[in-house]
A = this chain, B = another copy of it.
Amino acid sequence: MNHAKPLPGYLVTRYQGWKATGYAENQHWYRRLAEEGQRPRAMVISCCDSRVHVTSIFGADQGEFFIHRNIANLVPPYAPDGDHHGTSAAIEYAVTALKVSHLIVLGHSQCGGVQGCIDMAKGNAPHLEAKTSFVGRWMEILKPKFEQVADIQDPVEQARRFERQAVVASLENLMTFPFIDSAVQARELSLHGLWTDIGEGDLEYYDAVQDRFLAV
């Protein structure tokens, strides 16, 4: 692999600062975490988007959350077909090996992946429909939900509603995994749906009884 480069200097500098402060302050705890293993209380499925920091929002330090991040915080349906399924592998590890108590799906405003899915559904994104488009194929997980928001005229409002549908779709797909269904039935695991507004810092949770999102 002769294409890898050394780390840019500004990141080396920041790492050295962390080593001398954040690491040094917590050395004992990090060593225990290394020796005894992690015991995270929750798994979070969040978007790769650089503007969404679940650890900041919840003041979480090393060891608290097992975090999977993908485009648009999507969970595909259960499909044990022998292929590589990164999201399903992360969920399986969290629930069956780490036995997390909470599984949180965190959606967000201004999601580029969700917008791409809208464009695709409206026939405005032929490049995403190509078989070779990984983003297009990935967003097909969400596409069936588009009918729920197809009638909304205002594009901004439509996108914000569809982002919440992405959270609901993931929650629904999670329940298709046998090990999740049984853990939920056994009251060993609870699912939670959240949506955050990047610009306003607001946080909403999915209320299953009313089938809508409410301010936290």
Can you name 25 A-B residue pairings with CB atoms under 8 Å? A1-B211, A3-B171, A5-B191, A7-B194, A8-B25, A8-B61, A16-B21, A17-B17, A20-B24, A22-B56, A27-B187, A28-B102, A31-B200, A33-B198, A34-B109, A34-B197, A48-B90, A67-B69, A70-B87, A71-B90, A80-B132, A83-B83, A88-B134, A89-B138, A97-B112
A58 to B203, CA, bound (A): 21
The reply to whether A175 and B1 contact each other, CB–CB distance below 8 Å, is yes
The reply to whether A30 and B86 contact each other, CB–CB distance below 8 Å, is no
Q: When A28-B188, A51-B33, A199-B31 are in contact, do A85 and B2 touch as well, CB less than 8 Å?
A: no
A88 to B51, CA, bound (A): 20
Query: What is the CB-to-nearest-CB distance from A118 to chain B, in angstroms, rounded to a whole number?
Result: 15
Interface size on A, residues (CB 8 A): 127
Per-position 1/0 for A168-182, Cβ under 8 A of B: 100110010000000
Contacts of A88 on B, CB cut-off 8 Å?
134
Per-position 1/0 for A60-71, Cβ under 8 A of B: 111111111111
The reply to whether B67 and A26 contact each other, CB–CB distance below 8 Å, is no
A20 to B21, CA, bound (A): 7
